[in-house]
Amino acid sequence: MIKRQAQSLAHVLARGFPIVAITGPRQSGKTTLARALFSGRAYVTLEDPVEKQYASADPRGFLARFPEGAVIDEIQRCPDLFSYLQGLVDSRRRMGDFILTGSQQFGLRSGISKSLAGRVGLVQLLPFSFDELQAAGRSPVSLDDALWHGSYPPLFDREISPHLWFSNYVSTYVERDVRQLLAVRDLDLFQRFVKLCAARTGQLLNLSALAADCGISNTAAREWLSVLETSYLVMRLPPYFRNFGKRLVKTPKLYFLDVGLAAWLLGIRDAETMNTHAMRGALFETWVVSELVKQRFNTGQPLDLHFWRDNVGREVDVLFEREGRLQPVEIKSGATFVADWLAAANKWAAFAGDAAQSPWIIYGGSDSYVRENARVIGWRDIAGLSVT
Q: What is the pLDDT of residue 174?
A: 73
DSSP 2: P
d(CA 169, CA 54): 29
Q: What is the pLDDT of residues 142-184, one digit of tens each?
A: 999 999 999 999 999 999 999 999 999 998 887 777 777 777 7
Q: Are 45 and 73 in contact (CB under 8 A)?
A: yes
| Identity at 165, one-letter amino acid code | W
| pLDDT above 90 as % of the chain | 72
Distance of CA 332 to the CA centre of its chain: 21
The closest of 25, 89, 73, 12 to 299, measured between CA atoms, is: 12
Sorted by where each starts, the structural domains of the chain and their CATH numbers stand as 6-124 (3.40.50.300), 130-243+252-283 (1.10.10.10)
Q: Can you state the angle between helices 218-230 and 105-115, rounded to 10 degrees?
A: 80
Average of pLDDT values for 92-103?
Answer: 93
Do 59 and 84 touch, CB atoms closer than 8 A?
Answer: yes
pLDDT given at position 388: 62
Q: What is the rounded average pLDDT of the residues 10-32?
A: 95
Q: Can you give the pLDDT at residue 294?
A: 97
Q: Residue 200's pLDDT is what?
A: 98
Question: Looking at residue 100, what is its pLDDT?
Answer: 95
Tell me how far apart the terminal alpha carbons of the chain are, to the nearest angstrom: 26
Read off the pLDDT of residues 186-242 as tens digits, 9 standing for 90 and up.
888 899 999 999 999 999 999 999 999 999 999 999 999 998 998 899 999 999 877
Q: What is the pLDDT of residue 386?
A: 74
Amino acid at position 86, single letter? Q
pLDDT at residue number 105 = 62
Q: Who wins on pLDDT, 59 or 349?
A: 59
Mean pLDDT in residue range 89-118: 83
Q: Rounded to an integer, what is the distance from CA 295 to the centroid of its chain?
A: 10
pLDDT in tens, 113-143: 777 888 999 999 999 999 999 999 999 999 9
pTM, entire model:
0.94
Integer-rounded Cα radius of gyration of the chain: 22
Split at pLDDT 50, 70, 90, the class of 107 is low
CB 259 within 8 A of CB 290: yes
Q: Write down the mean pLDDT value for the chain.
A: 91
Report whether 115 contacts 21 (CB < 8 A): no
| Contacts within 8 Å (CB) and 24+ apart, 307-311 | 307/237, 307/238, 307/239, 307/240, 307/253, 308/239, 308/240, 308/248, 308/348, 309/204, 309/239, 309/248, 309/249, 310/243, 310/246, 310/247, 310/248, 310/249, 311/246, 311/247, 311/248, 311/249
